[in-house]
Amino acid sequence: MKVTKQARREARELFRACFASGQLDENRVRTAVREVIRGKPRGFVAILSHFQRLVKLELERRTARIESATALSPQFQAQIQAELTQHYGAGLDFTFAQNPALIGGDVYDGSVESRLKALQESF
């Protein structure tokens, strides 16, 4: 579906209005979606589509997946969480996973960087 400039603009305004204290507020998101559906402005499907994309990107941006070859102790997990929170701010969602394919320890893989590498390798 093609999203018009006007729909993108309105979705961005809606998205910005859903922040409280620098973080995306789930209740504001729900309220905003309900209000758009109730009001049905011109191009509301495109607005909601772009709004959904913006929310999804924000949630992915605030998610940290930490993988290691061996299980991490709770103290080390807490230390990692504290350091990432200090660096990126509060409101991060953490997921710790064990991946035996990682030989010799931990690996940091920024999703944008890995996507760019994959794109570069595809050419």
DSSP states of 67-88 as a string?
Answer: EESSPPPHHHHHHHHHHHHHHH
Is the pLDDT reported for residue 110 higher than 70?
A: no
- Rounded mean pLDDT, 99-117: 66
Q: What is the pTM of this model?
A: 0.65
**Percentage of the residues of the chain whose pLDDT score is greater than 90:** 45
**Cα–Cα distance for residue pair 76/96, rounded to 1 Å:** 11
Question: Which pLDDT value is given to residue 108?
Answer: 58
**Which tokens belong to 21?**
């204290």
- The answer to whether the beta carbons of residues 46 and 83 sit under 8 Å apart is no
Residue 3 is given by DSSP the state: -
